Amino acid sequence: MAEGVKDRRKVHLICDNLATHKTETIRRCLVRHPRFHLHFTPTGSSWLKLVERWFAEITMKLIRRGVHRSVKHLKTDIENWPRQWNENPRPYVWTKTADEILESLVAHRQRISDSRH
């Protein structure tokens, strides 16, 4: 687990509330590796979607399109990505209103509630 973290520092991992992050296998792994700590974002955290979108940009525009002949080269490219990204910043434009988002959340919660019965 996390081979790149060489020393014995605590490692804090930020995860969404996806059920796969909370399985018995994960729990056992965390018991074996107590320096790793999971923190879960609140369900429905719309700001997390922006973080996921940013990582998708890195994946699609840098990692998949790039030629990385070594891990060191890939690491350097990833570390340089934020500076390059910020050279041509573009604001994120929300396409839904707050009311539309809340309606969607209510509908989603209803579907979840209905599926449990």
Model confidence over 74-108: pLDDT tens digits? 999 999 988 988 898 888 777 878 888 888 888 87
Residues 6 or more apart whose CB falls under 8 angstroms from that of 57 comprise 85
Q: What is the pLDDT of residue 92?
A: 73
- At 15-44, the pLDDT tens digits run 877 777 788 898 899 899 999 988 887 776
CB of 39 closer than 8 Å to CB of 14? yes
**CB within 8 Å of 1: residues ≥ 6 apart:** 29, 33, 36
pTM beyond 0.85:
no
* pLDDT at res. 49: 73
Nearest-5° angle of CA 47, CA 49, CA 55?
Answer: 115
Per-residue DSSP letter, 64: T
pLDDT band for position 117 (cuts 50, 70, 90) = low
Residue 85: is it exposed, middle or buried by C-beta count within 10 angstroms (0-12/13-18/19+)? middle
Per-residue confidence (pLDDT) for residue 67, from 0 to 100:
87
Q: Is the pLDDT of residue 72 over 90?
A: yes
